[in-house]
Amino acid sequence: MLFNSVEFFFFLATVLFVYHTGPAVLKRPLLLAASYVFYMSWNPAYGLLLFAVTLLSYAVGRGMESVRRHARILLWAGIGAHLAVMFIFKYYSFFSENVNWTLGRLSLGWDAPAVEILLPIGISFYVFQSLSYMVDVYRRQVGAERNLWLYMLYISFFPQLVAGPIERASNLLPQLRKDHSFDKEGLRSGLVLIATGLFKKMVLAENLSILVSAAFFRPETRGGLGLYLGALMARYMIYCDIAGYTDIALGCGRAFGIRLSKNFDRPFAARNISEYWQRWHMTLSGWFRDYVFYSLAAGPLARFGVPVLVFVTFLLLGLWHGASWNFVIWGCVNGGMVVVYQSTRGWREKFQVPAALRTAFTFLALVGLPTVFVVTKDVGQSLFAFKKIFGVFSQAGDWWDIGWLFEGRNAVYLLSSAVFIGGMEIAQKLNEKEPVLETIGRWPAGRRRLAYAVLGLVAVAAVGLIFFRQTNTAFVYFQF
Amino acid sequence: MESMEDRLKKIVRSVFNLGPSGSLDGLVYKDHPRWDSLGHIQLILSLEKEFRVKFSSEDVVSVRTLEDIASLLRKKGGQAS
């Protein structure tokens, strides 16, 4: 059941209606049942896995609190079991392929068995949420939850179950424990967020995905500039996809009276790569900071210094995104850039570079270029694309050929994306001070009507574009 | 002999490049541009080396201010130079 589907619309409307009109005692059971129905709508067997992971971390949390002297052993057992689940469902195929490749080179005549395992949707998100809970209980940052039903709801809360935000127990559990009465303002702001998220996903991400596919489907037919622009559009497409999902998740949460964590803070306004990672997918980067980077700093790797810790953390962050060498390299490249940024900080501060130039360089080079690894199917194709992108002098006129971007429907997608992205960036910048709709609401009647008319036209244009394009795909981060 | 607090301040100034006279009043993790997560770990590792103590991951996440660090160092008895 995708967020951008009619089924989900009816599902959400029904759950919201019963939640706000039914007896208070049924609110939490309703949300829990709805969350499992939502997750099992992809595959009923997934529900068992979700329940098993939940039960495991619940038991480890209770165990650590009651037998404190064995807390460390219990924690490691819990972490090991969680990582085993991730390994079997997400990384086994990648592992067996590489083992078999290596064994083939050694001619040992033995193969790791190939097993076709369907990756359960959202596994990386709820397993990480479950892991964070165990570590937080171990670090005494939260107490172990006694109520199993409430804990099940914390892990499975459907708005954020399959693609985050990855919530900490300290934020979500107390909110789930509280009774929430109907809040008109919460519902209104939630619906605005849902509409914003649908716009990002259904208009921008879908538009850009067609252009990105046109660039990278057969990269040998494209010039260097076309591939470079394709990589920039791919980064924006991924942003609109996951940020759109997050907006819908936050909006749904708010409609139930629950505030989920902020996940994106205008990442492309970052003035350096380190700041970018503080603004991009904040609940995931915060997770890696608190549970990987800080844990590594307290372990034996610390003797090699901060650069090695940063590098290893980003390597694992890359691997989290997908079981492939492309993601491993992408993680390493990002780790390398953060290390270089950090180690040259004192030297760079001697130069006064305008903030706009730093922002442009961060997006156009540091964030945009490595996206080639994310959007290509293997390392060979990535290297081929880079060779073309950096071959500006060797390819003469071919490098500049971006005629395909303006052919047929592509021109419509390109132009509409550019206009919508410009409008969205301005709106998000203004939103930092005060929500745009609230500002408009205070304007004099004439000006206010004009603003609403413009917004109405934008909505009509956006819906028109969706029908014109006739595509509706799943969210990118589901596969993570 | 330098007190533990003075040595701590010296390391903080050096790690965050604050200069010998830079004020350390109200310095809080994440509130200062230099004291981000990377600066935090750089500080923790420098303190471990200077005071010959070992911080656990619980310690790393729990300290937020210089007072937190000083009290943790006192608890761990980190006085050696």
Total number of domains in chain B: 1
Q: Domain for residue B11, yes or no? A: yes
pLDDT of residue A284: 95
Domain that holds residue B41: 4-18+28-76
Q: How far is B44 from chain A (nearest CA, A)?
A: 8
Average pLDDT over chain A, rounded to an integer: 90
Q: A188-237 pLDDT, tens per residue?
A: 999 999 999 999 998 899 889 999 999 998 888 888 999 999 999 999 99
Of A278, A297, A342, which is closest to B45 when you measure between CB atoms?
A: A297
The C-alpha atoms of residue A106 and residue A102 are separated, in whole angstroms, by: 6
CA A387 to chain centre: 29
The C-alpha atoms of residue A163 and residue A400 are separated, in whole angstroms, by: 38
Q: Domain for residue B23, yes or no? A: no
User: Does A181 score more than 60 pLDDT?
Assistant: yes
Of A290, A338, A345, which is closest to B61 when you measure between CB atoms?
A: A290
- How confident is the model over A41-46, as a mean pLDDT? 90
CA-to-CA dists, residue A304 to A318, B42, B47, angstroms: 21, 12, 15
From A170-174, A278-282, A414-418, B76-80, the region with the lowest mean pLDDT: B76-80
Of B12, B76, B5, nearest in space to B43 by CA: B12
Greatest distance between any 2 Cα atoms in chain A:
80
The C-alpha atoms of residue A225 and residue A219 are separated, in whole angstroms, by: 11
CATH assignment of the domain containing B36: 1.10.1200.10
pLDDT of residue A396: 64
Does residue A25 belong to the interface with chain B, where contact is any CB pair within 8 Å? no
Does residue A312 belong to the interface with chain B, where contact is any CB pair within 8 Å? no
Q: Do B38 and A310 touch (CB under 8 A)?
A: yes
Of A436, A314, A331, nearest in space to A374 by CA: A331
The C-alpha atoms of residue A351 and residue A204 are separated, in whole angstroms, by: 37
pLDDT of residue A106: 79
Percent of chain A residues topping a pLDDT of 70: 96
Q: Domain for residue B81, yes or no? A: no
Of A140, A289, A345, which is closest to B37 when you measure between CB atoms?
A: A289
- How confident is the model over A441-453, as a mean pLDDT? 90
Q: A52-104 pLDDT, tens per residue?
A: 999 999 999 999 999 888 999 999 999 999 999 999 988 888 888 888 888 88
Only one residue has tokens 């939640």, namely A19
Q: A341-399 pLDDT, tens per residue?
A: 988 877 887 888 899 999 999 999 999 999 999 999 899 999 999 999 988 766 666 88
Only one residue has tokens 């990118």, namely A476
Q: Higher model confidence: residue B38 or residue A479? A: B38
Residues 6+ apart with CB under 8 A from A392: A224, A225, A399
User: Does A472 score more than 70 pLDDT?
Assistant: no
User: Does B80 score more than 60 pLDDT?
Assistant: no
Q: Do B56 and A141 touch (CB under 8 A)?
A: no
The C-alpha atoms of residue A469 and residue A134 are separated, in whole angstroms, by: 45
Confidence band of A182 (pLDDT split at 50, 70, 90): confident
pLDDT of residue B81: 45
**Interface pTM, i.e. ipTM:** 0.72
| SS3 letters across A378-446 | CHHHHHHHHHHHCCCCCCHHHHHCCHHHHCCHHHHHHHHHHHHHHHHHHHHHHHCCCCHHHHHHCCCHH
Q: How far is B55 from chain A (nearest CA, A)?
A: 6
pLDDT of residue A393: 63
Q: Do B45 and A289 touch (CB under 8 A)?
A: no
Does residue A140 belong to the interface with chain B, where contact is any CB pair within 8 Å? yes
The C-alpha atoms of residue A155 and residue A167 are separated, in whole angstroms, by: 9
Task: Please name the residue ranges forming H helices in chain B.
Answer: 4-15, 37-51, 57-62, 66-76
Of A276, A431, A244, A439, nearest in space to A366 by CA: A276
Q: Do B61 and A297 touch (CB under 8 A)?
A: no
3-state SS, residue B65: strand
Q: A105-164 pLDDT, tens per residue?
A: 877 777 777 777 778 889 999 999 999 999 999 988 899 999 999 999 999 999 999 888
> What are the chain B neighbours of A300 within 8 Å (beta carbons)?
none
Task: Taking the CA atoms of A349, A333, A160 and A151 in sequence, report the sign of the dihedral they define.
Answer: negative
User: Does A306 score more than 80 pLDDT?
Assistant: yes
Q: Do B58 and A302 touch (CB under 8 A)?
A: no
pLDDT of residue A16: 94
- How confident is the model over A436-457, as a mean pLDDT? 89
- How confident is the model over A252-281, as a mean pLDDT? 94
Q: Domain for residue B66, yes or no? A: yes
Q: Higher model confidence: residue A60 or residue A23? A: A60
pLDDT of residue A107: 74
The C-alpha atoms of residue A317 and residue A336 are separated, in whole angstroms, by: 13
